[in-house]
Structure 1
Amino acid sequence: MNHFKKLILLTTLMAQSAWAAVNVNQADAATIAAELKGIGLSKATAIVAYREKNGPFKTKEQLTEVKGIGLKTVEKNRQEIKLK
């Protein structure tokens, strides 16, 4: 693969990751941790546990009910968080 094709492929992959979104009502903990800023595996696992105990999240702000997740984290990830 020549350098131009590699550059196009890399640019495409970077653009896709910049537009990545995660459905917090369906994704596993590893996916949530990989896609959301400031959410590691521990907090992502807590999101999944909360969802399993309380049902799907109805609003993005409801994520703040998960221990360790504040409104700043929700705001930082607002565009990436999907509920449906």
Structure 2
Amino acid sequence: MKMTLKGMLAALLFSISLGLSSGVLAQEVAPINVNTADAELMAELPGIGPSRADAIIEEREINGAFESAADLERVSGIGPATVDRMRDQVTFD
């Protein structure tokens, strides 16, 4: 397949723009405090959708605050793999 100079430049510019935009997407975000966050905010965590966010809040209200990421395994449907994916994105202050 023969590519023209114009096509190669377009592909190069597209690749560069993807590289630049990925830096924006990789920005650090503040960790979510699972002891105070509402369901909408918690649903943004990896592996946590609206129903699991509601379950986290229900567990928190019934059995008290979470002290560590591992405590999230008290919630039905949240296992070690899910906890590992969100470990760096949650706090418990």
Task: State the TM-score bracket (shorter-chain normalisation).
Answer: 0.7 to 0.9
SS of 2:88's equivalent in the other structure is coil
SS of 2:73's equivalent in the other structure is helix
Corresponding residue for residue 49 of structure 1: 58
Corresponding residue for residue 11 of structure 2: none
Q: Which contiguous aligned blocks of 4+ residues in structure 1 show a shift greater than 2 angstroms?
A: none
Instruction: State the alpha-carbon separation in 1 of the partners of residues 87 and 69 from structure 2.
Output: 7
Segments of 5+ residues of structure 1 without an aligned counterpart are 1-6
SS of 2:77's equivalent in the other structure is coil
Residue-by-residue CA offset, 1:3-22 (whole Å, 9 max, x unaligned): xxxx89x93xx354x43310
In terms of Rg, which structure is larger?
A: 2
Residue-by-residue CA offset, 1:33-80 (whole Å, 9 max, x unaligned): 02x101000000000000011111012101001000001000011100
Corresponding residue for residue 76 of structure 2: 67
- What is the number of equivalent residue pairs in this alignment? 73
Pick one of 30, 33, 36 that aligns with 1:20.
Answer: 30
Instruction: State the alpha-carbon separation in 2 of the partners of residues 19 and 76 from structure 1.
Output: 15
TM-score (norm 1): 0.77
Corresponding residue for residue 4 of structure 1: none
Instruction: State the alpha-carbon separation in 1 of the partners of residues 69 and 56 from structure 2.
Output: 12
Instruction: State the alpha-carbon separation in 1 of the partners of residues 80 and 29 from structure 2.
Output: 21
What is the root-mean-square deviation of aligned Cα atoms in Å?
1.9
